[in-house]
Amino acid sequence: MLLFLFEMMAVLLADCFFSVQHFFHGMDISELPPELSCPTLQLIVLLGLDVRNNLAHKNIWEALIMNRRPDRPPLNFQLVSGDSHDLTTMRTKEPSQEAAVKGILKIDWMAKHLHRVPAVLVLFVDLDWNSPFWNEKLSECASKIQSIRHSFYGRNPYLALVLVQSFVTLPTDELATQKAAELCSSCELSSKLLFILPQSEHLFGYVVRLEFAFYDLAQNYYQNELKLLKSKKEALSRTVSQRLYVRYSFKQGFFSELRQDAHSALKYYKQAYQMLLEIEPVDAAVTELKVIGGYLTYKICRLYFKHNASSESMSHFQKHIEYFRNKTSKLEAEFEHSAWLSKQYSFFAELFDAAVQSGLTTSSAEHPGFYYQTAADYMIRRQHEFELSSKDGENETRRVGEAEEQISTATTTVVGYCGQRTDWSLSSAIDSEGRFDHSSAAVGLLCNAMTHFKNYPRSVRSRHCLLVRLGMQYVRQGRLEQALQAFLQALGPLRRARWTSLVGACLAPALRCAHALARPKEYVALVLELLNVEYGVGEPARRVQLQRNLLALSSGAVPEPDEGTDRAESDAALMAWQRLLLDSTTTFVPVAAGDINAGLTVTGGFCSPEGMAVVAAPTTFQLRLKSDLPEPLQLTKVSVQFVAGNDPAQSWTLDTPVEQRPLLQPSTTHLFEFHIYPRPEHAGGEIHATSITLHIGQSTSKVYITLMWDVQSVSTVGFCVSNLGRKAAKLPVELPKRIKVLPKPPKLAIVCDDGFAVLIGEKYLYRVTVENLENAPISKLKLKVFESANSRCQHGIKFGYNIEQCDGAALSLELDSLMPNSKASSVFYITMEKTVDNVSMHMQITYEVTLNVENMDMSCNCTLDRTVSFSSIMPFVVESYMCTTMGQRVNELVVKEDVLLWMHVRGVSVPTLICSCTLHLCDKVHMNNPIDYQTFDNAVIDSDTSLSEICSVRPVGATMEPVSIAHATFCWKRWNETSSSEMISTSFSLCNVNIVSCPVIVSCVVPSFGVMYRPFVVKYTIENTTEKTVQLEATFESSERFMFSGMKKDLLKLTRLSKLEIILNVLPLIDGFSTLPRLQLLSSSEAVTSSLKQYSQRNVPLTILITPKDSTVSSSQDSKIALQDAESYCSVQMVCAYGCFVNATVSFQPKKTSH
């Protein structure tokens, strides 16, 4: 017992020191206690485990605290080496103490219930059921439990006993059941609070089961605490005990969080906050209300985010800020309120950021960056207010001389409640504020805001504003390197956005950083930009001083610091510049003037409004410079770099003459011209100026400055560099910034035919004449001829050097060199294989000419393209058809039936000489009478001439498909002087028809005409064309125009290849054209009958002309006609049917017909 009392005394002293420590911690009203934001875990105190000396106990402890996965209960295990815990006994309150409440929430209440007031006490004892020292162990265990209960008198934690045993006991073990009941009775312990932990290989599983048992006990403990608070809260009067109502509601929310009941916790916190707003904010209570309101807002917002209710969280926070934004107390310094507001925004941004990391979706209009930015604003405001209070001395408070007196005062005037202040708290706050690094805090907040703004492209302006403010804070910290980097990073986008005020605000501190760091490149760029009157540097003396600093740097001198720079910074900058300038090498300072808005205006372009240039022809590039500097600026030279295409190897630079050192006068425009001569290799590409460079200083000086405008950079102003808000000077004509280089135009005259016609099969002779119009001799003259690629399809033009070889798709001819004004001719041959209405032939003439450009020979290759159109046509048109002897056109021939082959030759626009014609019949057709085609011998035909020929043929065999009856071969040539002397042979296919077979062919012999009432003879010949006997039924149709005698109807039998003649005596009764009696042949086979009707009588005349009786035709003539052979009569009847000849015979002699 003495040992226990000694331990309790130590606990009391520690508790007193803890309260004093929390009092000093509570002076900063802006800070949130760590217990507010740490995880709310149920406290489980473990007693009796000796982890240092007992391996089994160490394994149990490691199983409890190691590998805390989310599926395990949220418990906070504390290991106590002794038998007691570091907690004071609960103080007994007087009945009137609650009513005379002095504050809302004690400073250490949350820490006490998180770290010192356990929900469950667990005593571990090594005890087996069969232990030989059972009685002694039982008494010792009961004594320990009694001592622990005495130590926690006034508290109601659950006390559990865990027996660590060396083996597993079965539930049916009677000894274990008996000993357990004895142990519970001796220790006055419920059987539900006794646990067995066997040491086996499944230790982790037993430990996890123990955890869930402890978790259930802790849940019951905090539920009991909530019931107790509820009973106290229900006994209160809200109008009298508002602070107690807030206190109990806060504690209910906190205990609900410990029970992991987030919804109930949110409800209780909201009740507490609503009641807090009902408390009258008198001056003495404002600070406490703000602090407790901040605690509650933190809890409410965190729970809202946990429930994915981000909009409710933002709404609550905005209402919280609006209510407390102007709530200040006389016991607070001005900077303390700004610090509190900064912290409110900071913790909300952290909660918002954590929700975003957990998957919350944000937008460019609402994200944590805005809250970090506002927190930084209040942090900077806090810094300014503290600096003002330090300068004025208005808030200086009493100082206590001795540390002992401060401790004594602290212990006697301890404030035990959150947010409450004393008279001397203000002095302590000012002292601690002086030790606070405001700039570092502001930098951290601004960096956090930047991180979020970078995720949203639309927040570009906000991000640049943050960069400027970040640079300002870096300057306050003395981190000039980071400050200069931030300013330079922000200046570029701000220039492009034409944000003049921010650009002007950045330039002065950036120049200070560049001067202090001895950065010549950045210093020159910033000086040039500060010389721009748009940025507010309007004092003439200031502008003159800046320009003189620039000129001094170009001559190797140290620039003067700005006014207001402290002595230490000036001395450090002087040493840095001296180290830089004492270096033996020249320091080149290239400044990208196109990226800044300097006091110089540059315009320029090529003097070619069309944007075209020609090889070997001069092209001028005009450059205009206008200076807005306060004093003249001496330049060493002006350079313009040109590049052909995009190949850096094809670049060159043109400079102003060395003796001409340009001096730029203020407000004066200076004109510079640069002449370029495109070379042949530049043809087809573009030439553009890549950069314009102004050189300041000599190359031998310590510092050599170049101002360069990158013309091709999209982010620069280019040739038209204008100041912000001011329109740049324009050239009278908008000049192009790049030109397209065209090849040197050829100076040749070409003479050739166009629109001519080439006959199919001939080799057409074509002549080309070239004349040199250059002022110099030309060489390597070549002519290439090929079909134009613009044609929709290739037409198969063939070219050749001579008649024998005219089969190439292209032709290349080399011509002799030509002197000026001289000519050269070349010929070649063209042939075509098919007719085309419009053929394009492309002729390309290339040559080389050497010109003298700027005292330098320049060899140029020139090309002249010429397209010639012509047509290809047939030399003449051949038409043919077949007809019967009656003159009827037919598409099918019948074996052994005589037919006529007609052939017509029609000329075209080009006169053609036909020398001869040969007809070749196919093997299925024989000619009846061979004919010599003299009609086509040496005949000249054109578009107004045509020739005709006719012959009689007889098919001798049938075919399965259409065949060409004959081929006509013509020997011809063009009838003009350009035609070649050789004859051209062209064959034409004649009459594609079918040849069919018919069993019977009928022919008929009739006179050319008859006389009314005078009889004449009609003879029918029926021929069997097959190798079989044919039986037919022959019938003559009666006619009212004739009377006839002979066979009327009979059965005919024709043996193989035999003929049968039928003779009729016919007496005409009516004059005019009359239909002869029609012979009908029928067969027992329908197929034969159909064939007979279609093919057998195609050469039988149908009508005859009957003249009146008093006709002038004599009877002797009638007798002569009646005795002629059948073929002649047939021919006469055919001619009569055409109506060309009457009363005359016709011979089959070829006859030329002219139309």
Residue 287 lies in a domain: no
Please check whether residues 567 and 424 belong to one and the same domain: yes
> Pick from 586, 604, 622: which residue ends a domain?
586
Please check whether residues 841 and 896 belong to one and the same domain: no
Residue 390 lies in a domain: no
For the chain, what is the total number of helices (H) and then of strands (E)? 25, 46
DSSP string covering 163-186? EEESS---TT-HHHHHHHHHHHHH
pLDDT at 1154: 37
Containing domain of residue 687, as a range? Answer: 591-742
CA distance 1006 to 1128: 10
Q: Which residues have CB under 8 Å from 575's CB, separation 6+?
A: none
pLDDT at 250: 96
Helix axes 262-278, 242-258, angle to 10 degrees: 160
pLDDT in tens, 149-164: 888 887 889 999 999 9
| Beta strands per DSSP E along 421-504 | none
Mean pLDDT score, 672-679: 89
Model confidence band, residue 887 (pLDDT cutoffs 50, 70, 90): confident
pLDDT in tens, 762-778: 888 899 999 999 888 99
**What are the φ/ψ torsions at residue 934 (nearest 5 degrees)?**
-80, -15
CA distance 270 to 320: 12
Model confidence band, residue 915 (pLDDT cutoffs 50, 70, 90): confident
Please check whether residues 579 and 600 belong to one and the same domain: no
CA distance 612 to 619: 9
CA distance 973 to 762: 8
Please check whether residues 434 and 488 belong to one and the same domain: yes
Could you tell me the CATH number of the domain that includes residue 546?
1.25.40
Please check whether residues 881 and 988 belong to one and the same domain: yes
pLDDT in tens, 790-843: 666 677 788 888 887 788 888 888 888 888 889 989 899 999 888 888 888 999
Contact assessment for residue 1020 and residue 1036, using Cβ atoms and an 8 Å cutoff: no
> Pick from 815, 842, 865: which residue ends a domain?
865
pLDDT at 415: 65
pLDDT in tens, 1080-1119: 888 878 778 888 777 777 878 888 898 998 655 444 444 4
Task: Tell me the H-state helices in 662-704.
Answer: none
Residue 618 lies in a domain: yes
pLDDT for residue 1130 is more than 70: no
Mean pLDDT score, 441-468: 88
> How many other CB atoms sit within 10 Å of the CB of residue 668?
11
> Pick from 708, 726, 742: which residue ends a domain?
742
pLDDT at 536: 61
Please check whether residues 567 and 697 belong to one and the same domain: no
Please check whether residues 1014 and 1106 belong to one and the same domain: yes
Contact assessment for residue 934 and residue 1152, using Cβ atoms and an 8 Å cutoff: no
Q: What percent of the chain has pLDDT over 90?
A: 30
Closest to 46 (Cα-Cα) out of 142, 196, 159: 159
Q: Which two tokens stand for residue 246?
A: 């807030």
* DSSP bridge partners of 666: 627
Residue 602 lies in a domain: yes
Please check whether residues 970 and 1103 belong to one and the same domain: no
DSSP conformation class of 69: -
CA distance 631 to 257: 74
Residue with tokens 């987030």: 262
The angle formed by the CA atoms of residues 216, 219 and 220, to the nearest 5 degrees, is 90
Total domain count for the chain? 5
pLDDT for residue 394 is more than 90: no
Residue 12 lies in a domain: no
CB-based burial label for 830 (10 Å; 0-12, 13-18, 19+): buried
Q: Which two tokens stand for residue 563?
A: 């006014």
The angle formed by the CA atoms of residues 1018, 1021 and 1027, to the nearest 5 degrees, is 170
Contact assessment for residue 75 and residue 44, using Cβ atoms and an 8 Å cutoff: yes
**What are the φ/ψ torsions at residue 841 (nearest 5 degrees)?**
-110, 125
Please check whether residues 615 and 662 belong to one and the same domain: yes
pLDDT at 538: 62
Q: Sign of the CA dihedral 774, 778, 780, 783?
A: positive
pLDDT at 1029: 85
Mean pLDDT score, 445-457: 90
Please check whether residues 467 and 610 belong to one and the same domain: no
- Tell me the C-alpha to C-alpha distance, in Å, between residue 921 and each of 703, 881, 895, 965: 104, 14, 15, 6
Residue 565 lies in a domain: yes
pLDDT at 212: 95
CA distance 421 to 29: 9
DSSP string covering 725-778? TSPPP--SS---SEEEEEPPPP-EEEEE--S-EEETT--EEEEEEEEE-SSS-E
pLDDT for residue 1142 is more than 70: no
Please check whether residues 555 and 598 belong to one and the same domain: no
Residue 163 lies in a domain: no
pTM over 0.85: no
Contact assessment for residue 715 and residue 606, using Cβ atoms and an 8 Å cutoff: no
Q: Which residues have CB under 8 Å from 164's CB, separation 6+?
A: 56, 57, 60, 124, 125, 126, 127, 197, 199
Please check whether residues 777 and 852 belong to one and the same domain: yes
Residue 572 lies in a domain: yes
Closest to 1044 (Cα-Cα) out of 1086, 1074, 1008: 1074
Could you tell me the CATH number of the domain that includes residue 768?
2.60.40.10
CA distance 560 to 581: 14
303-312, 443-452, 889-898: the lowest-pLDDT one: 889-898
Contact assessment for residue 253 and residue 268, using Cβ atoms and an 8 Å cutoff: yes
CA distance 1124 to 1117: 11
